[in-house]
Structure 1
Amino acid sequence: MSAELSYAHGTGTTPLLGDTIGGNLQRAVEAWPDRDALVDVPSGRRWTYAHFGAAVQELALGLLASGVAKGDRVGIWAVNCPEWVLVQYATARIGAIMVNINPAYRTHELAYVLKQSGISVLISSSGHKGTDYREMVRQVASECPQLRERVFIGEPSWDALVAGGSGVRYEQLAAREAELSCDDPVNIQYTSGTTGFPKGATLSHHNILNNGYWVGETVGYTEQDRVCLPVPFYHCFGMVMGNLGATSHGACIVIPAPSFEPAATLRAVQEERCTSLYGVPTMFIAELNLPDFASYDLSSLRTGIMAGSPCPAEVMKRVVAEMHMAEVSICYGMTETSPVSLQTRRDDDLERRTGTVGRVLPHIEVKVIDPVTGVTLPRGEPGELCTRGYSVMLGYWGEPERTAEVVDAGRWMHTGDLAVLREDGYAQIVGRIKDMIIRGGENIYPREIEEFLYGHPAIADVQVVGVPHEKYGEEVLACVILRDAADGLTLDELRAYCRDRLAHYKVPTRLRILDAFPMTVSGKVRKVELREGYGEL
């Protein structure tokens, strides 16, 4: 009998949602008008679904009054705040395309995004933690002829935008909404490439509404849930898995702080009796390591989502036991797939939550292929993970050639990730194709070595990369953060630990001890910087 192929199709008894984001929000407003929809802990402001729906409508009318047409791009450059959420839903209601701009961008990157997407209206924070957004916008405005209006949250320009809607009749909004299809583009998210400028993944109502809904379904959201979101809204984690996951179930969005602060996050969970908490593993580690962690009452927590990078087993054990998150879920995805393709289930054991990224979600397909031939591999063999279904982006904004590089003729999105699809249908990510080390013709998957080295008593964190080698092409460099810097660790000690337990070609031949790893703003380690920074002897 031939081996089972690395292909899985998520089936479900519940059909996909066919409405727009605005239509779906209206259903929530009608079903749960008196339940909390949005709470901003720093300012103490809160909205019921009835109030939230009215505020979204008021802003939508204001955008219509300012001349925003269907398909126009409206930029949002802000840290987490209630206005960010209002802009998300108001732009969706009028058929505009909201462009997420990373709050960490500097003028060079800001100018690129404004021009590349053709933003006509920019809604921005005035500043955050010493960064003057207003001045940065002023510096680049002359380069962006399509930018005709600048609005700053909390300032008179914001108030004027909202007030402008009083002169627009509701019938004009209803007429605009009647023109909208769930397949219309509604969002552009720029993905940080390791080379060149970022690409604008263009997502439809259908893409992100359904993905948020299914992520919420998988963790069992109802109108009783209160979701604490310390993750950034400008990223799919916050605005899709968070905001849309909540509103599609009548749950409440809780904003603990403008940007991540571990103490503020736990305080928000305690005060607002949150049932769900999101974060990348480093966020959960920071919360667990607070000196007064034990003083917070986290007993209201039931579930949450951890994504962005692999979760060490010891951290997961503490999250489940000490944070009361018995049903915490691991998600895997990418911006181009709205984002989640694979997710662990509420009753999965520790091994599946720490050793895999879950199994395929309903209405999505995944397969693992040979990166060279494109042929689907037998289960258990590593290859490139591809995904297909409602979640695959419309394309990169204005860049059909770059779209064709990752979405093939069969509408499969090629993730660039190396994965193994197990016999039980759960997937393991073993690395990135570009991170794979080829030493003397042997394929080495850094993730395997990293998982092994996590067991070393002196090592708190580790990243493995390939660096140039004259004879073998590449050799293995281990970059480690020590539990206690005073203890030290030598290459000979590390190699002795690996000997007899790893194949000789996988044993690191180089070691760098670091205080911290270079990170992207979304919490992922920048391996390219490790390779470039420590590749020379």
Structure 2
Amino acid sequence: MSEVSDVGEIGDVSETGELSYAHGTSGTPLIGDTIGANLDRAVAAWPDREALVDVLSGRRWTYAQFAADVDGLARALLAGGVAKGDRVGIWAVNCPEWVLVQYATARIGAVMVNINPAYRTHEVEYVLKQAGISVLFASLSHKTSDYRAMVEQVRGKCPQLRETVYIGDPSWDALIARGTPGQDEEFRTRRSELSCDDPINIQYTSGTTGFPKGATLSHHNILNNGYFVGELIAYTEQDRICVPVPFYHCFGMVMGNLAATSHGACIVIPAPSFDPTATLSAVQDERCTSLYGVPTMFIAELGLADFAMYDLSSLRTGIMAGSPCPVEVMKRVVSEMHMAEVSICYGMTETSPVSLQTRRDDDLEHRTGTVGRVLPHIEVKVVDPATGTTLPRGSAGELCTRGYSVMLGYWDEPEKTAEAVDAGRWMHTGDLAVMLDDGYVQIVGRIKDMIIRGGENIYPREIEEFLYAHPKIADVQVVGVPHERYGEEVLACVIPRDAGDPPTLEEVRAFCEGRLAHYKVPSRLRVMEAFPMTVSGKVRKVELREGGAGGA
């Protein structure tokens, strides 16, 4: 939907009769390297180009310096008895050491386990036990989190955890001091034993019920995904990528770090966690060509009182992912942030993560109304959730994806793996999608987020896109809440443009009158200061629903 005045019904079946299936054929082969071997190629090609910049500390690494520090850390881990397949955890905010751990563990075949920096003792204890982590790297503290104190609380309950190394602490220096050039033969032997299909990374998905599951990914999964995402926005060694999104998530460590190093580009860390001022300052001062973020990040940057004072003319591209981008936000990103080639990506942790992506020359309608088309070497289809049958194009159903990017499985949970990945190796995403005639895909909601009101299927995304144009609404999320008669009713949760003059339910309903079908018009309104978010920038709709039908 490119114009809010043209809100049609989602799911008009294609007249061509073509099925909702697409395969990303490509003349560019998949990479068969391990992550370490791929880094070696970058170092050989661009030893003196910058690989990594940390704005906060002022530290900088060329590719040659970065590889030397990666190898030093890898040798130290070998000296500490880390074997191939051992799990090494990292529980930290964005910093250069995070990136060093990522590549050092890959060098020696250890499985790096990403731990959400927002986790507290109950959650981190679960991950330490479930993954069997033997060595843990952690920040000392960040904002209200005292990581050392939390580790001390759970250490006695995690018998496999034998060592914790704190970033910025003498324990880091002590670890590095273990590594010696005398380990070169052992280092070479270990590297020769690695396969690109080995598990190399566990990422815990942010489950809304119960404990999260550990998606297990290989070198082949994440290296290729980072590479092809970078290919589609034409990365070269000239690019400098500002990465304000968290490294613990695929967005940061795959689409950011691996997309960069596989193309000889530079990773720029603007701050330990997202800060709109620090982000734009980094883009300006480091002359970044690419900027990442979820839509709420771009909204925050555009909303800065001194936004116009930043020189963002070096930007040409970037990636927006995590949730759909409002049309008006995309217009400003393209025109005022100079990101004419900005790309929308869709994916999930279990698929390394990206399956669909818009292309550099796509128009505004495709960048806001779709999440792009299939990546090279990947298959996607839209199926009937009940029968598994592939649907005609234009029909809403569950999006499934297959190919090199699909995870090896959930760590030590074969039954949950079988629930998500079927016998044909199709990953079932749980997302409701529509494939258009041109192969581009619209995400219309989660299967569990779809609202069924009096027998009518309602897709929250459609109503959200429409309400973004209301003059009093800065941001909006739509959820279904229980209703005695209709089963569910529509609740609009809004963040007002002016806190002193929020919209009323009557104003919202009047705005929808005659432009949305009656059953889609919100019957409840909740005005909020902010939405509950995951660390990766996704709105936690389950919490909005749990708030009940409160509001006007």
Which TM-score band (shorter chain)? over 0.9
Question: Structure 2: which 5+ residue stretches go unaligned?
Answer: 1-14
CA shift for structure 1 position 493: 2.9
Match of residue 62 from structure 1: 76
Spell out, residue by residue over 1:357-401, the C-alpha distance to the aligned partner (whole angstroms, 9 max, x if none).
011000000000010111001001111000000000001101111
**Pair 1:252 & 2:305 matched:** no
**Pair 1:360 & 2:377 matched:** no
CA shift for structure 1 position 304: 0.6
CA shift for structure 1 position 167: 6.2
CA shift for structure 1 position 497: 2.4
Q: Which deviates further from its counterpart, 506-515 or 175-184?
A: 506-515
Partner amino acid, structure 2, of 1:229:
V
1:118 to 117, 132, 147: 132
Paired residues of 2:482 and 2:548 also in contact (CA < 8 A): no
**Pair 1:97 & 2:84 matched:** no
Spell out, residue by residue over 1:284-341, the C-alpha distance to the aligned partner (whole angstroms, 9 max, x if none).
1111111221221111111111111111111111111111111111100000000000
Partner amino acid, structure 2, of 1:80:
N
Distance (whole Å) between structure 2 residues aligned to residue 452 and residue 56 of structure 1: 48
Match of residue 288 from structure 1: 302
Distance (whole Å) between structure 2 residues aligned to residue 441 and residue 290 of structure 1: 43
Q: Which deviates further from its counterpart, 475-484 or 181-190?
A: 475-484
Name the Cα RMSD after superposition: 1.2
SS at match of 1:534: coil
SS at match of 2:382: strand
SS at match of 2:525: strand
Distance (whole Å) between structure 2 residues aligned to residue 238 and residue 405 of structure 1: 27
Partner amino acid, structure 1, of 2:65:
H
Match of residue 43 from structure 1: 57
Q: Which deviates further from its counterpart, 277-286 or 488-497?
A: 488-497
**Pair 1:454 & 2:499 matched:** no
Match of residue 397 from structure 1: 411
Identity of aligned residues (%): 81
CA shift for structure 1 position 200: 0.4
Distance (whole Å) between structure 2 residues aligned to residue 146 and residue 112 of structure 1: 12
1:182 to 192, 196, 199: 196
CA shift for structure 1 position 96: 0.2
Match of residue 3 from structure 1: 17
Partner amino acid, structure 1, of 2:460:
P
**Pair 1:508 & 2:522 matched:** yes
Match of residue 28 from structure 1: 42
Distance (whole Å) between structure 2 residues aligned to residue 55 and residue 484 of structure 1: 49
Match of residue 77 from structure 1: 91
**Runs of 4+ displaced beyond 6 Å:** none
2:497 to 483, 487, 509: 483
SS at match of 2:442: strand
Q: TM-score with structure 2 length normalisation?
A: 0.95
SS at match of 2:506: helix
Q: Which deviates further from its counterpart, 507-516 or 349-358?
A: 507-516
Match of residue 359 from structure 2: 345
Match of residue 9 from structure 2: none
SS at match of 1:371: coil
Distance (whole Å) between structure 2 residues aligned to residue 486 and residue 152 of structure 1: 45
Match of residue 170 from structure 1: 184
SS at match of 2:215: strand
Paired residues of 1:65 and 1:167 also in contact (CA < 8 A): no
Q: Which deviates further from its counterpart, 322-331 or 67-76?
A: 322-331
Q: Equivalent residues in 2 for 1:222-301 (5 A)?
A: 222-301=236-315
CA shift for structure 1 position 232: 0.6
Paired residues of 1:202 and 1:395 also in contact (CA < 8 A): yes
Q: Which deviates further from its counterpart, 521-530 or 71-80?
A: 521-530
SS at match of 2:448: helix
SS at match of 1:391: coil
**Pair 1:203 & 2:203 matched:** no
**Pair 1:108 & 2:122 matched:** yes
Distance (whole Å) between structure 2 residues aligned to residue 481 and residue 488 of structure 1: 8
CA shift for structure 1 position 494: 2.3
Distance (whole Å) between structure 2 residues aligned to residue 534 and residue 470 of structure 1: 13
**RCO (CA 8 Å, sep 6+): is it higher in 1 or 2?**
2
**Pair 1:148 & 2:200 matched:** no
CA shift for structure 1 position 519: 1.3
Partner amino acid, structure 2, of 1:418:
L
Distance (whole Å) between structure 2 residues aligned to residue 380 and residue 9 of structure 1: 17
